[in-house]
Structure 1
Amino acid sequence: MKSSRSFYNRFYMLYPVADFFFKSKKKKLAAVINALPAGDILEIGIGNGSILPLYTRHKITGIDLSPKMLSVAKARRTSVFAAFMEMNGEALEFSDGSFDYVVISHVLSVTGDPEKMVRESHRVLKPGGRLLIQNHFTPGNYLRYIDQLFDLVTPLFCFRSKFLLHSLAALQLFRNVKQIGSGPGKYFKIIILEK
């Protein structure tokens, strides 16, 4: 995790490039979240907070490993119902059953132990709470070859290109509610799970 923290601390000023690329995906995720009843959201890997202006009625707790990313997110805060903390999503410092929703957007493929992050998300969710994951997942079509090729260099950028949905055993802790695919070959997905 230390390498991810230092990577994002060094490159936080370039993150608007990633925001441009993920803008439509973040809008789609925010629309899904805003359709849910108002509640307490934990967003793991809030980054620079670019999604914050898209949320309409939830209380947000955003965590990130990068203090520099968090400083940008705090400046972007659009609601008094937002709090920010430097924290590792694999070792959450919250009590069991603290949140109605946990959001993990484009973070599972950059964290050191995605299984642990999903288990921690399950722990801090209230009974009936929902985990919303947005990420790329390597499909079984031609894109898997591209992911395999990129996977040779992606460790330099602190992420996994080849990332298989069925490899996450911790997802079995949840009931699958819905999957929404987007992009070529449904490469990007929003997965909605219930505790």
Structure 2
Amino acid sequence: MSKQKRENRNTNLVALTGGAALLAIAVNALKKNHKKKDLPGSTVQVNLSPPEILRLVNRIIAKSKEVHDSIASVPLDKVRDFERSGLSLTLTKREELQRLSAQIDELSGRYIRNLNDDSTSLLSLDKAENGKFKVTLRSHHVSPILELCKVGLTRRIVAVAYGRRCEVNLSILESLVRQSIKTQLLQPLS
């Protein structure tokens, strides 16, 4: 073959991948009367018969379909979670959303710490005939009283005191509500 013909032939080569490459090899092999040859310009040897190549192509196509089907089966709720985290927002709005989320996390943590550190107690509950006893306003003490105590006035006193404990959290709760509203305003409507 002359040098010019070889150069022209080399410029006509097209890079193919996956199933298309295997199909091209199969077609090329069928044209050449099933001869097993090296692929020109490559160190890869083609020593598969046309039926073997077609089986491989079908397997690749089936695997590709399986992958596409699994992607298509992702629930829209997962996609909405990404949108809620700000991925569909502009960079400026996304940064604002992250700042607000960090503030909400910090305020929530402070709110919970305040409740955990609160040591409010009641000294006004009667204990039979010999005086009063102390009840801390922690949920593991309050819940049994509210569920099991037969004295309605006692349940009411405990419930009101439990609801009023840790008043410092009111300002934190107000800030949490404001920050939450701001984050909602940044989110796209869905």
TM class by shorter chain equals under 0.3
TM-score for both structures, normalised by structure 1: 0.20
Of Structure 1 and Structure 2, which has the larger fraction of its residues in helix?
2
- Kindly name which structure, 1 or 2, has the bigger radius of gyration based on alpha carbons: 2
TM-score for both structures, normalised by structure 2: 0.20
